[in-house]
Amino acid sequence: MVQRNFEKSGSSGWLGIIITGIIFGVYHLSPFSLIPLIALGIFFGYIVYHSNSIIVAVIVHFFNNTVAILAAYFKIDDDMVGTITAGKMTIPVIMANFIVFTVVLAFSIVAFHFSVKPKEGEG
């Protein structure tokens, strides 16, 4: 609703995507995950904008949550991407999480971008 209102007001589509992504991140009330949640929110907004459907973003969000639940259920090692207690947060673990998250997000954006038709008026 927020994103569509920005689009209807004549603002840039990217402005709506970014603001909606920030709201998505803040809404989760997780200060330690704020930046990745904002990035996910922006990605979901990008999906909604280019697919012209919230259903696609809902499916991707469901898939993301399913992966997180499975990771917690199978108790993925601390050396892998997964849940880590605060005392075990080392720089290499943080960087590994960041790199994996960035690669997966970048691949998802590229794959999604080439799988949908551009909106009317776009290249």
| Position 58 in a domain | yes
For residue 60, CA distances in Å to 5, 41, 43, 96 come to 22, 11, 10, 23
First-to-final CA distance of the chain: 25
81 inside domain: yes
pTM above 0.75, yes or no: no
Q: Does 9 map to a domain? A: yes
Q: Is residue 120 part of a domain?
A: no
Give the pLDDT confidence score for residue 123 in this predicted structure.
47
**Domains held by the chain: number:** 1
Residue 121 lies in a domain: no
pLDDT of residue 86: 57
Question: Which phi-psi region, left, alpha or beta, contains residue 29 (left: φ > 0; alpha: ψ -120 to 50)?
Answer: left
Q: Confidence class of residue 92 from pLDDT cuts 50, 70 and 90?
A: confident
CA–CA gap between residue 7 and residue 13 (Å, rounded): 6
- State pLDDT tens for residues 20-47: 999 999 998 888 888 889 999 998 998 8
70 in any annotated domain? yes
pLDDT exceeds cutoff 70 at 118: no
- Domain hosting 32: range is 2-115
Report which of residues 63 and 2 the model is more confident about.
63
